[in-house]
Amino acid sequence: MVLVMTMITPLKRVRGLGSAKEGADHFLKQRLTAVANLILTPFLIWLIATLAGADLASVKATLSHPLVATALIVLVLSVAIHMRIGMQVIIEDYVHSEGVKMFLLLANTLFAFGVAAIAIFAVLKLSFGT
């Protein structure tokens, strides 16, 4: 028997394709969005400080400002990607039943995209709507 010292699985060795080359994908995306979040979170805290408990007129006036609206949309996108990866890691850490895991991973993606869609729609409507 020939002992081949290799990191790839037997199936991968037969196919000769090597790894999928996406091993670091989540690691890098999580840190890229973390940098974006680090820039945008102080903005969100400013927004909360300015608008928490404020009346609708001031909320509308602030949120329809082009810079605020743009920053908020970028924040929502970055946060949605970041929290989707984060929750995926948690699900994969703790849920070992294959069926439940698949369901939760699916729900996780739908939740992240759903929250992002609602928030972005609302910001756009506040900017462009009547």
Q: What is the contact surface with other proteins in residues (CB under 8 A)?
A: 31, 34, 37-38, 41, 44-45, 48-49, 52-54, 56, 59-60, 63, 72, 76, 79-80, 83, 86-87, 90, 111, 115-116, 118-119, 121-123, 125-126, 129
* Nearest residue (CB) to other proteins, 26 versus 41: 41
Pick the closer one to other proteins by CB: 74 or 119: 119
Nearest approach in angstroms of CB 52 to other proteins is 5
End-to-end CA distance of the chain, in Å? Answer: 75
Least separation in angstroms between residue 121's CB and other proteins is: 7
Report the 10 Å Cβ neighbour count for 104. Answer: 19
Smallest gap from residue 123 Cβ to other proteins (A): 6
Pick the closer one to other proteins by CB: 3 or 14.
3
Contact 86, 30 (CB under 8 A): yes
Give the nearer residue to other proteins in terms of CB position, either 8 or 115. 115
Q: Which amino acid is at 42?
A: P
Shortest separation between residue 17's beta carbon and other proteins, angstroms: 27
